[in-house]
Amino acid sequence: MSDIELVSATKSFGGWLKRYKHRSTVLNCDMIFAIYLPPAAEEHPVPLLWWLSGLTCTDENFMQKAGAQRTAAELGLAIVCPDTSPRGSDLPGEHDSYDFGSGAGFYVNATQAPWNQHYRMYDYVTSELPALVSAHFPLNGKQAISGHSMGGHGALICALKNPGRYTSVSAFAPICNPGQCPWGEKALGGYLGDNRELWHEWDSCELIKAQGSDLPLLVDQGDADNFYVDGQLRPEALAAACEEASVPCTLRLQPGYDHSYFFIASFIDEHLRYHAEKLQ
């Protein structure tokens, strides 16, 4: 494993939660990712769930707060958590706000300078990191994808842009229509420029309108989520696009739940079992 460096290893429910550091060619910086390997991985290759996290998060948030390891161990499911942006590039203005730059890569490939030097998170999570983990860990090639908020947006676009790659996709409070909300307008404008037509490639609603999807969508959204109330997430636009394109979409509005990891922890087991069934 000369091209990845072990940062930490922690025993959890009979399996191992490990963090690794590596040099990313795509992002032109050093990156850290986390992987949970269930006990079954010591006996045979296992399927994989990708988890993409939201604004301000790193690889650690989900692994520490979601409580996913117990059920992942039971199901024999590995989980990989990438970081949410390049690190250490220190571009001008990169750390000035929580919703653009550091911790806010939005899982797109930036085309605008200086962001295009590093901010190619889509290629990182769909190409470079999958190749790395498949080379180093006992994975059987079957994979699913999920995420939260900005990471829910990432999970949806990765699945929609790569038909047949993932057995299933789900999301918690995803940014469903980034071309029509303040978070998305700031990020897509900054990374991709002012031509809104180019944004459609990175907007789940626009992708569904353009190409449909053979993969059903599972989305949980808390109805007490301030970002839902404020119009940042727009799950109703996703549901409408799916209905128009005849794409199966299960949108569950969960009464009283907010945007936090308490929400994720409350429903993560259902999502893990959903993906495990599809991964069989």
Total domain count, the chain: 1
Q: Torsions phi, psi of 19, nearest 5?
A: -120, 135
Q: Would you say the pTM of this structure is higher than 0.95?
A: yes
Would the pLDDT of 169 be above 90?
yes
Domain with 252 in it: what CATH number? 3.40.50.1820
Domain containing residue 180: 4-279
Structural tokens at position 110: 């930036």
One-letter amino acid for residue 37 of the chain: L
Q: Torsions phi, psi of 38, nearest 5?
A: -70, 165
Positions marked catalytic: 149, 225, 259
Structural tokens at position 58: 């790193």
Would the pLDDT of 49 be above 80?
yes
- Could you give the CA distance from residue 234 to residue 248 in angstroms, rounded to a whole number? 17
pLDDT, one tens digit per residue, over 230-258 is 999 999 999 999 999 999 999 999 999 99
Would the pLDDT of 1 be above 60?
no
Q: What is the 3-state secondary structure (H, E, C) of 43-104?
A: CCCEEEEEEECCCCCCCHHHHHHCCCHHHHHHHCCEEEECCCCCCCCCCCCCCCECCEECCE
- Could you give the CA distance from residue 188 to residue 201 in angstroms, rounded to a whole number? 10
